[in-house]
């Protein structure tokens, strides 16, 4: 047997944090060396951070990345027999490439480049990088020394190592096939693969299939944490060989890094590849092999056995029957944890209305602290969030981390006030309540005098609703300023889609944790939190005071019996229309036909009216979505125009398409 211990590291990096990024990488190197790893793979672009955006255009960033690479190469002198692959941007012949450099014992052995760029959805790699052509190899000079760059295979003492950098492994014409033809023993997949519901199962499939079909050992490593604000990277390191998963690291960890290792048998992979790839003879696969003339540390013992069931069994919560609820909770918790500590904020402020959305935001903050403490320990988690002073608060730290305020008007009811107070008490948050009615009255009086008439609910309904929401903004912003805390907006994706939110009112905030999720799922998640809760934490039964209510903005007089669904439509219908129209890009008549089949309990005429209302409100309120606070990306239904779904601020509003819908409904007698 020819045994080698492979290492895959998930690392929590920050864009342009040169010293911090290098420090965290060096900590991983020390741990990997102590574990006798012979080949270590670090994530895509982990020297710079993935989310540098248009700073990739800055020459200073390219130079700083090279300086970090040279510094890291020098650090590897300490780790005899261990080769390291690290991701960074490389500027070559007036073009920027997404690359991975291989380092060993003080030397840069060469640089492999990404061949397929991610340019869909949340990704804009084609804006900054150029894809490297398959089979092409060139020479680059770094600090006066020449190095091979391009489509490379590295021969490390007889062990051949190639790369599929992130997207390379997701396409049909994977570079791995050609690497296998050239004799690759190991394929490394350094990635910056953002979190999305159910995405880990896709990763597991391409890792397993790559190892089986190419006859190699396959290593997937990923960035970890909320790196740059919107995207959450879930880690989830994977190592497979011969079509079997042999190691898997935990996902959505609060640690600065996760190292996963496994011992593989190189000879066994070669035998499997020999049976699959008789084309090794022709040498037409292109590229070049860098003969490094170095030996990797051999592993002792036996190969790592396959994981039970051949899937990622790294965390018990992964096996939950309510997997989406678990994923949502842990992704949001990690996103909030990293956002507050990396932004330098000293906690969170929430305008707690007594309704579902604001309660969910507050619960996520408490759950963030619980999950972080469960993994890191209470003291370390608090120190990372707020330093030694917060850590000394111990069990009372939640009061300092989360401040909630109930802001009443004449239209607020005792049910929501009592619910807000109950939830804040249950969570251990600091709680305030006050009335904003004097401010509402002052604004209303001022405008009434200016226009020469009294405002009334009959003629000024939306205006009188909006001023109540806007009057709540200044006070809660003041609290956030006083506490140097992050104000969390509470709007969800369903509201964002139709603009059912008051700008400078309930949209106030520096971060909108719920803007990536629909209201129907949010209500389902709150019920799950009430009855079940995350693995290891359990439920919050007091959420029953929230779940018992029908969602309402509570901005009209109580005699109006206002609810969100009476203002809009049933949330389950709204969310279905949104998916069909925005995610699936269907036009009004097509959406209507889908809805008729999906909701036979509603009349065709009613469904048509709801479809028309959705398209009208969607078009009218794009400007609001442009102004929303940043939100976390969670799935392919995001409506954030800065990370997923672009739409013109000014448009026809689907005028002709809605006319077609009305004509179609009339024709079928709906």
Give residue-wise pLDDT tens across range 531-566: 999 999 999 999 999 999 888 777 888 888 888 888
Residue 401's pLDDT band, with cuts at 50, 70 and 90, is very high
Percent of residues, the chain, with pLDDT higher than 70 = 97
Reading the block at residue 457, the tokens are 């609910």
The superfamily in CATH containing domain 319-558 is HUPs (3.40.50.620)
* CATH match of 3-314 with 2.10.10.90: no
Collapsing DSSP to helix, strand or coil, 402 comes out as: strand
Please identify, in words, the CATH class of the domain defined by 569-670: mainly alpha
Percent of the chain with pLDDT over 90: 86
Contacts of 73 (CB under 8 A, 6+ apart): 101, 103, 106, 107, 108
Q: Which residues of 177-213 are buried (b: 16+ CB within 10 A; e: fewer)?
A: bbbbbbbbbbbbbbbbbbbbbebbeebbebbbbbbbb
For residue 265, what are the β-bridge partners?
3
CA 457 to chain centre: 42
Phi, psi of 289 (to 5 degrees): -105, 125
Q: Rounded to whole angstroms, how far apart are CA atoms 378 and 244?
A: 37
Alpha-carbon distance 186 to 164, whole Å? 10
436: tokens are: 């904003």
> Quick one: pLDDT band at residue 210, thresholds 50, 70, 90?
very high
Number of residues in the chain: 670
Instruction: Provide the pLDDT confidence category of residue 369 given band limits of 50, 70 and 90.
Output: very high
CA distance 317 to 328: 12
Residue 299 in tokens: 């592993």
Kindly write down the DSSP assignment for every residue of 488-550, as one continuous string. Answer: BP---HHHHHHT-S-TTTTT-SSB-TTTTS-HHHHHHHHHHHHHT-STTT---GGGHHHHTSP
Q: Where are the domains of the chain?
A: 3-314, 319-558, 569-670
121: confidence class by pLDDT, cuts 50, 70, 90 = confident
pLDDT tens sequence across 411-452: 999 999 999 999 999 999 999 999 999 999 999 999 999 999
Looking at the DSSP assignment, which residues form a beta bridge with residue 140? 147
Strands 232-234 and 159-163: unpaired
DSSP code string of 303-327: PPPPPGGGS--S-GGGG-TTHHHHH
Locate 235 and state its tokens: 């880690």
Q: How confident is the model at residue 310 (pLDDT cuts 50, 70, 90)?
A: very low
pLDDT band at residue 283, thresholds of 50, 70 and 90? low
How many CA atoms lie within 13 Å of 340's alpha carbon, on the beta-carbon side? 31
In this chain, the answer to whether the domains covering 3-314 and 319-558 adopt an identical fold is: no
Q: What is the pTM of this model?
A: 0.95
The predicted pLDDT at position 309 comes to 62
Average pLDDT over residues 271-282: 64
Cβ-based neighbours of 302, under 8 Å, separated by 6 or more: 3, 263
Determine the pLDDT at residue 285.
Answer: 67
Residue 417 tokens, joined:
């006030």
Q: Count Cβ atoms below 10 Å from residue 629 Cβ, excluding itself.
A: 18
How high is the pLDDT of residue 427? 97
How does 402-435 read in b/e, with b if 16+ C-beta sit within 10 Å?
bbbbbbbbebbeeebbebbbbbbebbbbbbbeee
CB 184 within 8 Å of CB 288: no
Query: What's the rounded Cα separation, in Å, for the pair 470 and 553?
Result: 13
Q: Where residue 211 falls among pLDDT bands split at 50, 70, 90?
A: very high
- Average pLDDT estimate for 22-44: 98
Q: What is the DSSP letter of 224?
A: E
CA distances to 128, 324, 562, 648, 650 from 94, in Å: 12, 44, 60, 33, 37
Q: What pLDDT, in 10s, does the model give residues 145-201?
A: 999 999 999 999 999 999 999 999 999 999 999 999 999 999 999 999 999 999 999
Judge whether residue 68 has pLDDT over 50. Answer: yes
Is the Cβ–Cβ distance between 519 and 494 less than 8 Å?
yes
For the segment 597-603, the average pLDDT, to the nearest whole number, is 97
* Confidence at 281, pLDDT banded by 50, 70, 90: very low
């Amino acid at each position: 047997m020819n045994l080698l211990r492979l290492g895959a590291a998930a690392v929590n990096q920050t864009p342009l944090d040169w010293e911090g990024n290098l420090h965290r990488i060096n900590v991983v190197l020390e741990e990997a060396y102590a574990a006798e790893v012979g080949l270590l793979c670090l994530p895509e672009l982990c020297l710079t951070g993935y989310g540098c955006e248009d700073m990739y255009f800055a020459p200073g960033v390219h130079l700083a990345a090279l300086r970090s690479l040279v510094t890291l190469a020098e650090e590897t002198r300490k780790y005899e027999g261990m080769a390291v692959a690290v991701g960074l941007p490389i500027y070559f012949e007036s073009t920027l490439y997404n690359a991975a450099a291989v380092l060993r014992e003080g030397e840069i052995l060469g640089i492999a480049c990404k061949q397929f760029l991610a340019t869909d959805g949340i990704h804009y790699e084609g804006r900054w990088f150029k894809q490297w052509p398959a089979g092409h190899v060139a020479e680059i000079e770094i600090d006066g020394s020449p190095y091979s760059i391009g489509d490379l295979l590295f021969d490390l003492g007889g062990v051949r190592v190639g790369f599929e950098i992130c997207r390379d492994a997701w396409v049909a014409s994977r570079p791995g096939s050609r690497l296998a033809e050239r004799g690759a023993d190991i394929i490394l997949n350094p990635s910056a693969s953002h979190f999305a519901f159910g995405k880990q199962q896709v990763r597991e499939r391409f890792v397993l299939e790559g190892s089986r079909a190419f006859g190699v050992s396959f290593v997937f490593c990923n960035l970890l944490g909320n790196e740059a604000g919107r995207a959450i990277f879930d880690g989830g390191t994977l190592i497979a060989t011969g079509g079997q998963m042999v190691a898997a690291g935990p996902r959505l960890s609060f640690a600065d890094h996760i190292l996963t290792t496994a011992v593989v048998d190189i000879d066994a992979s070669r035998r499997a590849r020999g049976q699959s790839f008789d084309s090794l003879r022709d040498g037409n696969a292109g590229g070049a092999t860098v003969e490094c003339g170095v030996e990797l540390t051999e592993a002792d013992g036996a190969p790592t056995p396959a994981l039970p069931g051949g899937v990622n069994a790294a965390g018990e919560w992964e096996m939950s029957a309510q997997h989406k609820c678990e994923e949502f909770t842990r992704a949001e918790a990690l996103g909030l944890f990293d956002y507050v500590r990396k932004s330098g904020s000293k906690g969170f402020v929430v305008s707690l209305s007594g309704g579902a959305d604001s309660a969910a935001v507050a619960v996520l903050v408490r759950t963030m602290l619980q999950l972080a403490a469960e993994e890191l320990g209470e003291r370390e988690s608090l120190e990372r969030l707020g330093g030694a002073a917060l850590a000394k608060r111990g069990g009372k730290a939640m009061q300092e981390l989360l401040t909630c305020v109930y802001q009443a008007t004449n239209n607020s009811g005792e049910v929501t006030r009592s619910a807000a107070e109950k939830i804040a008490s249950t969570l251990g948050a600091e709680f305030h309540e006050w009335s904003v009615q004097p401010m509402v009255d002052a604004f209303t009086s001022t405008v009434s005098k200016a226009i020469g008439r009294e405002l009334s609910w009959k003629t000024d309904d939306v205006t009188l609703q909006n001023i109540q929401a806007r009057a709540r903004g200044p006070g809660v912003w003041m609290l956030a300023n006083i506490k140097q805390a992050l104000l969390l907006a509470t709007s969800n994706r369903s509201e964002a889609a139709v603009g059912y939110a008051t700008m400078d009112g309930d949209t106030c905030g520096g971060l909108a944790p719920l803007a990536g999720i629909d209201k129907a799922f949010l209500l389902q998640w709150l019920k799950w939190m009430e009855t079940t809760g995350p693995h290891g934490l359990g439920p919050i039964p007091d959420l029953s005071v929230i779940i018992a209510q029908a969602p309402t903005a509570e901005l009209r007089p109580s005699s109006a019996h206002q609810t969100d669904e009476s203002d809009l439509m049933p949330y389950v219908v709204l969310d279905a229309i949104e998916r069909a129209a925005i995610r699936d890009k269907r036009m009004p008549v097509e959406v209507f036909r889908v809805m008729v089949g999906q909701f036979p309990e509603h009349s065709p005429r009613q469904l048509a009216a709801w479809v028309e209302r959705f398209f009208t409100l969607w078009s009218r309120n794009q400007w609001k979505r442009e102004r929303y606070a940043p939100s976390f990306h969670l799935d392919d239904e995001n409506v954030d125009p800065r990370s997923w779904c672009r739409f013109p601020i000014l448009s026809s509003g689907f005028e002709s398409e809605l006319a077609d819908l009305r004509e179609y409904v009339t024709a079928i007698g709906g």
